Structure 1
Amino acid sequence: MALCKIFPFAFILLCCSCYLISGQRFDYPTANLSTTWINSVSAPHSVDFTDGSRVRAILLRGTFGPKYACGFYCNGNCDTYLFAIFIVQTNSASQITSPAIGFPQVVWSANRNNPVRINSTLQLTAQGDLVLRNADGTLAWSTNTAGKSVAGLSLTDEGNLVLFDSNNATVWQSFDHPTDALVPGQKLVSGMKLTASVSTTNWTKGGLFSLSAIDNGLVAFIESNPPQTYFDATIGGLDPSGGSNYVKYLDGSLTLFTNSSGTTELVLVSITPASSAQYMKLESNGHLKVYEWKNRWGEVDDLLTGFRGVCNYPTVCGRYGICTMGQCSCPKSSNSTTYFRPINVRLPNLGCSEAKKLSCNNLKKHRLLEVEDVDYFAFTADISNTDVNTCKRACLNKCSCKAAFFRSGLNSSRAIGECYLPTEIFSLMNNEKDKTRYDSVAFIKVQV
């Protein structure tokens, strides 16, 4: 009180100064037209992490804790970089911290199949195009938004990179171009999909697995011809004429929003509610995993693993490998003939190779190897209400058929059942009858 009486002006000045300091923004979430960023060793907001990754942030939204940023990123091999959105740890001044544990979590990238090198550039042009060029000036990626009234670039609190116009309306957004991850608040409109990378170290788009939103839910499949489904979370009886349906990542669920009878919300997959920053990623092995920050990043959910466990994943035991309680083996014949061998005896999960490759030149040398109590993840009946001999003949008469899978009622003596004739074989699995409640047998085509 005495200070206010003696030094009223000084007190007011001190209070105003404190207010200005505390009200100052330290994050940098937006950019104007005609801005260029260079992926150089001297670029600001550059951080090296102990896992070998490196980021050079150009936009960052928020302070203190796990926050979204975007910029140049490399994941250990820093000869090449992605332009990506990632979650990093920040302090109260929006500086990227925790290089030993807060490793950047990439949730979107622009140029998975066309990484760029040091001294590459990202430019928000005067015409409103966001353009990524390699160090030699060649085009690596673009939003193709020139002439579309773009006024600026912004990274939102939800991790969405947005080009907006003078009315703050969205012209282009990263949420419309998902890669292999989803963040809370993001949605997949019917027809959109996540596509896995080739491997944990090769982030190229071109992995075997995809997760697609369709009008009545979600389907995960392995890329083959035709695609084979290994997970299905769909709702029957929906009227698709009501408008475009979509699946949204909410706190605690993946939920289908449908306009079939007014806006309806239907939970497809339950998720552990978030207590901190969270995201999900479709891994290169087909798993859809949820990660959360709890003093470090850790897995909290493995969403596509149903009651059959890991054996239901298409590549868990490689091609032709049989999965039994997570262990892999090759199909064996009842006699001394060997039709399949492990690709690597010490690594049985790599799958099995054929002793003799199948050839259509002489169909008379095709035989069917019978393997009891073996099932397949992607069973879709090609022939219904049939008997086992008809199922076998159908495969032998069709060159492209690689196996005949026959399912029938439990203890039904295979009288009548359903027949599936796939043209490509991935991992097989032991049929756990107490769970499936049906009998199953595989007839695998081999060359003699």
Structure 2
Amino acid sequence: MAKTPYPKLLLPLPLLLLLHFPLSSSTIPLGSVLFASGSNQIWNSPNSTFSVSFVPSSSPNSFLAAVSFAGNVTIWSAGSVDSRGSLRLLSSGSLRLTNGAGATVWDSGTDRLGVTSGSIEDSGNLILHNNRSVPVWSSFDNPTDTIVQSQKFTAGKILRSGLYSFRLERTGNLTLRWNSSTIYWNHGLNSSFSSNLSSPSLGLETNGVVLISDLNIRGRAETVYSGDYGDSDTFRFLKLDDDGNLRIYSSQSRNSGPVVARWSALDQCLVYGYCGDFGICSYNETNPICLCPSLNFDFVDVNDRRKGCKRKVELSDCSTNVTMLEMSHTSLFTYDDPYSGVVFSGSLPCRSNCLNSPSCLASVSMSDGSGSCWQKQPGSFFSGYQRPSVPSTSYVKVCGPVLLNPPLVAKKGDGNNSEVKLWIVAVAVVAGLVGLVVVEVGLWWCCCRKNPRFGALSSHYTLPEYASGAPVQFSYKELQRCTKNFKEKLGAGGFGTVYRGVLTNRTVVAVKQLEGIEQGEKQFRMEVATISSTHHLNLVRLIGFCSQGRHRLLVYEFMRNGSLDNFLFTTDSGKLLTWEYRFNIALGTAKGITYLHEECRDCIVHCDIKPENILVDDNYTAKVSDFGLAKLLNPKDHRYNMSSVRGTRGYLAPEWLANLPITSKSDVYSYGMVLLEIVSGQRNFDVSEKTNHKKFSIWAYEEFEKGNTEAILDKRLVSDQTVDIEQVRRMVQTSFWCIQEQPLQRPTMGKVVQMLEGITAINKPPGPKSLSDLSFSGNSMSTSRGSMLVASGPTRSSSSSATRSFQTMGITSSGPGSTRISEGSLLGS
């Protein structure tokens, strides 16, 4: 970045020199000017991180007056001008952008408001001050399309980019709008927070968190994490792009490093109006593409398909019969105008009713079991998206006939000989193609039809559907074929068995065959949709599902390294995890669970956190699996009695046995047990001479109180030079807080992440309950402090099954009216 000439000159400069060579300090005196054609003209912040200058615009021969980070990232702009344009801080106090003809393009509106100087701060804020150094105007209070760290975005402010805008509502909701009124994304707060908001504000923190907060509430109201969350030595900014999507970007270098998108608000094809009027958004490989509904339409601009499509023949000019164009796996947006919904038994009545109605432009037949048919009114904006997993078929009125394929067009020759030659060539080409197809089909039938690698390439794999966030629907036969009839078993858990499979596009997957799932077709699809809507670095990705008859299967991405227990509890020295890997896995797991608890649209309680459900990818990044298989919590009260959900011995929170409501704090307890295992490399329910035959968590707490934290650490890590004893202490202390008997004493998972990272100080945790403090008596369970009760015991008719359940958890009957807890059973079960 070029510096302003004479930066150390102490004498006052004439006004003429000031106009041509502005000061490089943060102060901008009245009369200062920047010229678009002056490549060395710049106003710098004190540390030169941010600057005000003209940068090349997207339009040819035009320049953007902007505040930039490191000279290459625009965070605020006043507008574009030609090469003779200028940006001036007038003596009247107004900051004004003019083009080469002298016309005003933009003005700060601070004329005669007492402005005496301007400045560009190290935060990137461009400010106009009065003589008391009080800000009269600032770029942070008048954002354009970007928010940076330390900038507060409050209700009433708007980010704009073309027809799109982003707002923070008074209720705390984040909204994206098209054409100012059509809301196509609404990220809301839960009612417990929104009812207490008075002046919500949004800020982008240095560790990659978008935080919504308010003075009236304590803590975080809502958070969104970027993909590189936790790295504070990174420049980040939140930007509304011209494609209508809201994204978090980051630059790893404070100078001019590459800018990478780390988070986006929604799938690009779900952005309203992205492909223009009559445009249909789909995917080509991993990128969104814009298509016209059929060849009955033309692109408005073939060089810019986002401008939409137009009819070749308008319906009012149609001389032939009007017909309906059928588009499978396609849905139309409904934000801009009311839909009229009716119920028909099938898609044909939905198509026919719209065709016969002059007030219907298009209709959508839902294939989700509801039988709904939605009709779109004429004159409204038409926008839709298409993907193989969309459970709907759309119909659009066109002037017939429907043109699905390119028509064969032949130019007339000069005589009969030309026409004969053209006919002969056409027949020869068609005959050749038919012959090739026959030969290929014959070869496949004879040689490859029984090889699963050459199975029929279904529409599921013509596009990498999972890249768009929507799960692929498989048939049971397809999953039978790709798993070789469920031959290679990877493992088994509380919800079913997992098998290795290879899809026809050669993607290796893990197929989970669910057991004991009682939901109907519609409810199961809704739960799959909830699982597939979760996207986080530390969660296993759901690729697809199967719901056919009694078969319920889920298809996940495959993790070659397997689960965490294969590394923690093995004698194979080649699988020993270093401390650095252990800490990163513990932190990554906490971030994944935090996302499930605090950042999903619906709070998801895992209910089975254990090393077997924490997978490790090739880079030793933790991936939480099996989430969402338990019932979702009610988002209004965050409580749900899920007594029928199965957990795992050693990780169940006390409230499971007490038949109390299960909340997200139950996952915190299980995570605390896993955290102890990551540190120690030992199962928490194992009892040995090392622990003096005590429950491991109690023995570990006694060693911690003695200041002997190293005794808890896995002995195999003695020679590991990466062991950070301070991190070990933080993890051990955090685990003890997590496994507190009372759920209210346990921290939230968001707090756990801060404790592990050292952001929050950790107080000394109370000791976990010992077995001597716990007993069963009659129909209730109590502790010596009387802090926990169990609901009445089972009826006589179910006593045998109940006894078997208690024995599984280490609880045995010792006679009528009483129950005895065996060693290591209750808090570790």
- TM-score interval (norm. to shorter): 0.5 to 0.7
- Counterpart mapping for 1:344-423 below 5 A: 352-359=309-316, 366-376=322-332, 382-383=339-340, 386-387=343-344, 389=349, 393=353, 397=357, 399=359, 402-407=361-366, 410=368, 412=369, 414-416=370-372, 423=380
2:52 is equivalent to residue 70 of structure 1: yes
Contact 2:155 2:168 in 1 (8 A): yes
What corresponds to 1:299 in structure 2? 260
Distance 2:203 2:224 in 1: 11
Aligned-partner Cα distance in 1 for 2:168–2:334: 18
C-alpha deviation, 1:148, in angstroms: 2.2
Match of 2:383 among 426, 434, 445: 426
Q: Distance in 2 between matches of 1:236 and 1:425?
A: 32
Q: Which of 316, 339, 347 pairs up with 2:296?
A: 339
Task: Return the match for 2:205 from 224, 246, 250.
Answer: 250
Following the alignment from structure 2 to structure 1, what is the Cα–Cα distance between the partners of residues 334 and 90? 46
Amino acid at match of 1:357: E
Mapped partners of 2:272, 2:177: distance in 1: 9
Alpha-carbon distance, 1:144 to partner = 1.7
| Equivalent residue number for residue 243 of structure 2 | 285
Larger RCO (CA under 8 A, 6+ residues apart): 1
Greater strand fraction, Structure 1 or Structure 2: 1
Q: For 1:146, what is the secondary structure of its paired residue? A: coil
Match of 1:232 among 181, 186, 194: 186
| Structure 2 gap ranges (5+) | 1-7, 9-22, 401-829
Aligned residues: 361
- 1:92-142 CA distance string (max 9 Å, x none): xxxxxxxxxxx5221111124xx25426351242x4322334444433322
* Range 72-81 or range 339-348, more displaced: 339-348
Deviation at 1:372, TM superposition (A): 2.6
**Structure 2 Cα separation of the partners of residues 386 and 77 of structure 1:** 50
Change (3 A) 1:362 1:442: same
Partner residue of 1:193?
Answer: 158
Q: How big is the shift at 1:171?
A: 1.3
CA 1:76–1:222: 2 relative to 1, 3 Å: closer
CA contact (8 A) 2:196 2:217 kept: no
Q: Does 1:213 align with 2:168?
A: yes
Q: SS of the residue aligned with 2:140? A: helix
Q: Conserved in 2, the CA contact under 8 Å of 1:234 and 1:268?
A: no
Bigger helix fraction: 2
Instruction: Say if 2:351 and 2:395, in contact at 8 Å, map to a contact too.
Output: no
- The 3 A distance-change label for structure 1 pair 164 and 265 is farther
Q: TM-score, normalised by structure 1?
A: 0.66
CA RMSD of aligned residues (A): 4.0
C-alpha distance in 2 between matches for 1:324 and 1:162: 44
SS at match of 2:79: coil
One-letter amino acid of the counterpart of residue 257, structure 1:
S
Unaligned runs of 5+ in 1: 1-19, 21-25, 48-55, 89-102, 197-206, 333-337, 434-438
Task: Indicate whether 1:28 and 2:28 are aligned.
Answer: no
Q: Does 1:110 align with 2:78?
A: yes
Bigger CA radius of gyration: 2
- 1:440 deviates by 1.7
TM-aligned CA deviation for residue 323 of structure 1? 1.3
Identity %: 20
**Residue 391 and residue 228 in structure 1: after superposition, are their counterparts in 2 closer, same or farther (change >3 A)?**
farther
Question: Cα–Cα, structure 1 residues 446 and 185, in superposed 2: closer, same or farther, change >3 Å?
Answer: farther
SS at match of 1:311: helix
> Which stretch shifts more, 170-179 or 281-290?
281-290
Preserved CA contact (<8 Å) 1:57 1:71 = yes
Secondary structure (helix, strand or coil) at the match of 1:175 reads coil
SS at match of 1:162: strand
Q: Which amino acid aligns with 2:27?
A: T
Displacement of 1:161 after TM fit? 0.8
Change (3 A) 1:110 1:348: closer
- Alpha-carbon distance in structure 1 between the residues aligned to 2:262 and 2:238: 9
Question: Does the C-alpha gap of structure 1 residues 40 and 354 become closer, same or farther in structure 2, counting only changes over 3 Å?
Answer: closer
What one-letter code is carried by the residue in structure 1 that aligns with 2:86? S
Q: Aligned partners of 2:199 and 2:151: how far apart in 1?
A: 16
**Aligned residue identity for 2:387:** N
**Paired position in structure 2 for 1:7:** none
Letter in 2 for 1:147: R
User: Residues of 2 paired with 1:244 and 1:172: CA distance?
Assistant: 21
Amino acid at match of 2:31: T
Q: TM-score, normalised to structure 2's length?
A: 0.38
